[in-house]
Structure 1
Amino acid sequence: MLTIWGRFDSSNVQALLWAVSELELPFRRFDIGERFGGTDTPGFRAMNPNGTIPVLRDGDGPALWETGAILRYLATRYAPESFWPSEPVARANVDRWAEWAKINVTLGFTGPVFWRVWRTPAKQRDPAAIAAAITALTKKLAIAETQLSAHRFLTGDTLTLADIQFGHILYRYYMIPIDRPDLPCLRAYFERLTERPAYQNHVMVSFDALRDQCPTP
């Protein structure tokens, strides 16, 4: 049994829950972080000295933190070849797109766009900064558009770890009120993700509680 610590509307936790559900792994989860508190307790800091979520424990194993590391652990231990290949070159291909998505898309969207548009009160928003961030993000999404013009998923015709790292932010990307470019292959890819029960259950969830709730540094 997997135990997961992290609030349901954290995008990093959502990526983990989506992957766990795609792999059909049993789990229990505790709401931890921000309005739920709990990350500054001695017990939690003993598991993760950074005080961040998610944290995962597999049975009686050690506590694991950092979403990418957790995902690779679960994929290595539990995933089929189609999700996380064992052949080194094939695995590196999936892993490079997963890293690309995390560094270029997730980080380029979550703070620069989502936090500024959704989590920052209207009077404090910086329209010029938001526009610049969307422009920068669009250049990265155009790379995905090209890739997805040849594949149903990011690295081929089946869902892989790369899609977890990339696709989990697309629900918020398409739901928040921003100007979006016409990227038809990306939109079709997103719509394919929305047909997956695991995506529906763990990514397509309300983030209204985060509105205008930018945490104090």
Structure 2
Amino acid sequence: MLRLWGRTSSINVRKVIWTAQELDLAVQRTDAGGQFGLVREAEYLGHNPNGLVPLIEDEDGYRLWESNVIVRYLCARYAHGGLYPDDIKARFVAEQWMDWQQTTFNPAGRDAFIQLLRTPAEQRDDARIVQSVNATVPLLAMLEAHLAKNAYMTGEQFSMADIPIGCEIHRWFALPLQRPSMPHTERWFQSLVERTGARGVLDMQVS
């Protein structure tokens, strides 16, 4: 049994849920963060000094925080090829895109998400939305160009890299914005939505 702390409204928690489902892992989840609190309590901070979600505890008491690291760990421990590529070059292509999602793509789109979905209309900062959209559009073009040549992020096979970027695109597509045509990204994303492991993640309402 894998223990997971985190609320499903968190993109980073959804990454872990999706990964666990792909691997057929039983998960005991405790709501934490946001309106659920818990993350500033001493016991939680003793396990995750960042005071954020997600946090996992594996069956042997092994604990980890940082969502993409958790995805990598679960795939490395429980996947047999595929999700965690055996080929070292393919594996580091997956690592590359996972880092890109967390350090480049997510920060670019964060303000648009926060302003449009989590901020009352009368309190929104339009300048921040515009800046966030302008930062994200070139990254979407980069992703579209990559997926024009690849079925998935690392080539022809679904891998751990598709999970965080799929969660990010799920969130971006939920924003009430006009977007340029992205047929290759849309084709790829639809293939993710149809995965059994993505149920309850990519079909949930983003908020």
TMscore range, shorter length: over 0.9
The separation in 1 between residues aligned to 2:108 and 2:20, in whole angstroms, is: 25
What residue in structure 2 maps to residue 75 of structure 1? 75
The separation in 1 between residues aligned to 2:101 and 2:182, in whole angstroms, is: 17
The separation in 2 between residues aligned to 1:166 and 1:132, in whole angstroms, is: 21
Does structure 2 conserve the Cα–Cα contact (< 8 Å) formed by 1:101 and 1:162? no
Equivalent AA in structure 1 for residue 128 of structure 2: A
TM superposition shift of 1:206: 2.7
What residue in structure 1 maps to residue 136 of structure 2? 137
Does structure 2 conserve the Cα–Cα contact (< 8 Å) formed by 1:23 and 1:78? yes
Equivalent AA in structure 2 for residue 62 of structure 1: Y
Does structure 1 conserve the Cα–Cα contact (< 8 Å) formed by 2:6 and 2:33? yes
Say whether residues 1:156 and 2:161 are aligned partners. no
Does structure 2 conserve the Cα–Cα contact (< 8 Å) formed by 1:5 and 1:53? yes
Secondary structure in 2 matching 1:168: helix
Does structure 1 conserve the Cα–Cα contact (< 8 Å) formed by 2:85 and 2:159? no
The separation in 1 between residues aligned to 2:190 and 2:130, in whole angstroms, is: 25
CA RMSD, aligned part only?
1.4
- 1:172-183 pair list within 5 angstroms: 172-183=171-182
What residue in structure 1 maps to residue 194 of structure 2? 195
The separation in 1 between residues aligned to 2:190 and 2:201, in whole angstroms, is: 15
TM superposition shift of 1:24: 1.2
Unaligned stretches of 5+ residues in structure 1: 209-217
Tell me the matched-pair count.
207
Identity across matched positions, percent = 34
Does structure 2 conserve the Cα–Cα contact (< 8 Å) formed by 1:15 and 1:203? no
Does structure 2 conserve the Cα–Cα contact (< 8 Å) formed by 1:95 and 1:162? yes
TM superposition shift of 1:160: 0.8
TM-score by length of 2: 0.94
